[in-house]
Amino acid sequence: MESRPTARILTYLVLLAFVGFLAIQFVRPAFTNPPVTAELQAPPEVKRVLRNSCYDCHSNQTQLLWFDRIQPAYWLVTKDVEEGRAHLNFSEIAKLPAAQQKGILYEALNQAQLGAMPLPRYTMLHPRARISDEDLAILKNYLHPPAPDPSPDPAIKAAADSQYDQWIHASQASLSVAPAPNGIAYFPGYRDWKVVSTTDRFDNHTLRIIFGNDVAARAISEHKINPWPQGTVFAKAAWTQQVDPDGNTRAGSFIQVEFMVKDSQKYASTGGWGYARWRGVDLKPYGKDAAFTNECVGCHNPVRRNDYVYTFPIGGQE
Ligand code: HEC
Ligand code: HEC
């Protein structure tokens, strides 16, 4: 006797839910595929991976599946597409400067490697979009091609070795180095800072060491690296890369050293970081005027959510 009203209420609720479900099918935000204006230029195998795993949200060639067209999935997916396109659009990327495109691709690989992209909530229902280890290897190989010619000219090699020696032993502190065009002074002591990471990725033929000053080192040990604290300084030193006959990679001639100095107030116009670069063993300041930093900011912008820093410290946050 008592269960009958309960059953009736339940029936009403189910009906109501169904009517609601039908009703929201008609509430559909407009969804379109705008024209492809500046398609990414990349080898076919790279495009295949990106098309398969990323294009549904990061291009003007979104392909919705039948169940994506049913509410509320439709609403959720189209929102992801809208937001995804606003952040990164492979159908329009080619209009950006090449260096910036590279930075974006680098960040794309980073996101995929971290498992952050494609969005896990998406791959749950779209398993074919999952990115496999093979796919990752294809992207990595494209962005970090294999090592260069294994037998460099012995004369070049000897010259490079002596430069590296000079870098290791010379007291560059005694050189009088001119400041960068934006007024940042050279940091002679960076070679004694903590090595945060070494990298030979992204473009080949160079080997890089990234150093962090005391503030950076403390932030790493305390896991307070996003944002990095005021006073953090990074140095990135780059050498040409050589491969000896045994296949070992070693540093060749010194190319440059670059710095990022954290001061949110002083460098507010460039994302809170001051940028500077000195080239060659004679440490010539880079840039005609202070506007050279546009180039740096443009390429570091894709990682603004990591406080503009590309490097994941060794043993730090992963
Ligand atoms: C289901 C939709 C979806 C798919 C599929 C997807 N993304 Fe995203 N992506 C988003 C959204 C939404 C954002 C912005 C919000 C966020 O960062 O979470 C985003 C942000 C990003 C960003 C950050 C861009 C910036 O400037 O901040 C990168 C890089 C990225 N995605 C790369 C990829 C790559 C690479 C793939 C494929 C392997 C991929 N995404 C697949 C939806 C998607
Ligand atoms: C072509 C893109 C690009 C441009 C332009 C660029 N950077 Fe970077 N930068 C990177 C990448 C990628 C890394 C990560 C380390 C690596 O792989 O070499 C990096 C790393 C760094 C680091 C180490 C901290 C970190 O973010 O990992 C410093 C310091 C740095 N860059 C300074 C500069 C300065 C100064 C300029 C401008 C004079 C500049 N960069 C211009 C791409 C760029």
- Cis link prior to 245 (omega < 30° from 0)? no
Residue type at 19 in one-letter notation: V
pLDDT, position 47: 93
How many CA atoms does the CB half-sphere of 292 hold within 13 Å? 17
For the stretch 107-157, pLDDT in tens is 888 888 878 889 888 888 889 999 999 999 999 888 876 555 545 566 666
Say which ligand is closest to the CA of 233.
Answer: 2
- How far apart are alpha carbons 99 and 105 in whole angstroms? 10
55 lines ligand 1 (CB under 6 A): no
pLDDT, position 214: 96
Q: Ligand 2 centroid vs 143 CA: distance in angstroms?
A: 15
Q: 118-132, 170-184, 280-294: lowest mean pLDDT where?
A: 170-184
Under 8 Å between Cβ of 196 and 211: yes
80 lines ligand 2 (CB under 6 A): no
Q: Which tokens sit at 275?
A: 């940028």
Closest CA to 90 of 36, 126, 34: 36
Under 8 Å between Cβ of 104 and 72: no
Q: Which of 211, 310, 311, 314 has most ligand 2 atoms within 8 Å of CB, for mutation?
A: 310
Q: How far is CA 297 from the centre of its chain?
A: 13
Q: Ligand 1 centroid vs 8 CA: distance in angstroms?
A: 46
Under 8 Å between Cβ of 307 and 219: no
Q: Ligand 1 centroid vs 79 CA: distance in angstroms?
A: 12
85 lines ligand 2 (CB under 6 A): no
Q: Which tokens sit at 289?
A: 């005027």
Say which ligand is closest to the CA of 49.
Answer: 1
What average pLDDT does the structure give for the chain? 83
- How far apart are alpha carbons 309 and 262 in whole angstroms? 11
- How far apart are alpha carbons 18 and 20 in whole angstroms? 5
- How far apart are alpha carbons 224 and 317 in whole angstroms? 9
117 lines ligand 1 (CB under 6 A): yes
Q: How far is CA 162 from the centre of its chain?
A: 34
pLDDT, position 2: 54
Q: Which tokens sit at 153?
A: 């000219």
pLDDT, position 205: 67
Closest-CA residue, ligand 2 atom 23, reads 236
- How far apart are alpha carbons 89 and 81 in whole angstroms? 10
105 lines ligand 1 (CB under 6 A): no
**Highest-confidence range of 47-61, 141-155, 163-177, by mean pLDDT?**
47-61
260 lines ligand 2 (CB under 6 A): yes
Residue 294: pLDDT over 60: yes
For the stretch 195-246, pLDDT in tens is 887 765 444 567 788 899 999 999 999 988 889 999 999 999 988 877 666 6
Q: Averaged over 149-171, what is the pLDDT?
A: 62
208 lines ligand 2 (CB under 6 A): yes
Q: How far is CA 129 from CA 1, 61, 85, 108, 283, in A?
A: 53, 14, 17, 15, 47
Q: Ligand 2 centroid vs 303 CA: distance in angstroms?
A: 11
Q: Which numbered atom of ligand 2 lies nearest the CA of 234?
A: 29
Closest CA to 132 of 119, 111, 113, 146: 113
Residue 90: pLDDT over 70: yes
Q: In the chain, pLDDT over 70 holds for what percent of residues?
A: 81
Of residues 244 and 13, more confidence is placed in 13
- How far apart are alpha carbons 230 and 264 in whole angstroms? 7
pLDDT, position 170: 61
Q: Averaged over 75-99, what is the pLDDT?
A: 90
58 lines ligand 1 (CB under 6 A): yes
Q: Averaged over 91-108, what is the pLDDT?
A: 86
Q: How far is CA 258 from the centre of its chain?
A: 18
pLDDT, position 202: 43
- Cis link prior to 227 (omega < 30° from 0)? yes
263 lines ligand 2 (CB under 6 A): no
Residue with tokens 């091609």: 145
- How far apart are alpha carbons 235 and 62 in whole angstroms? 41
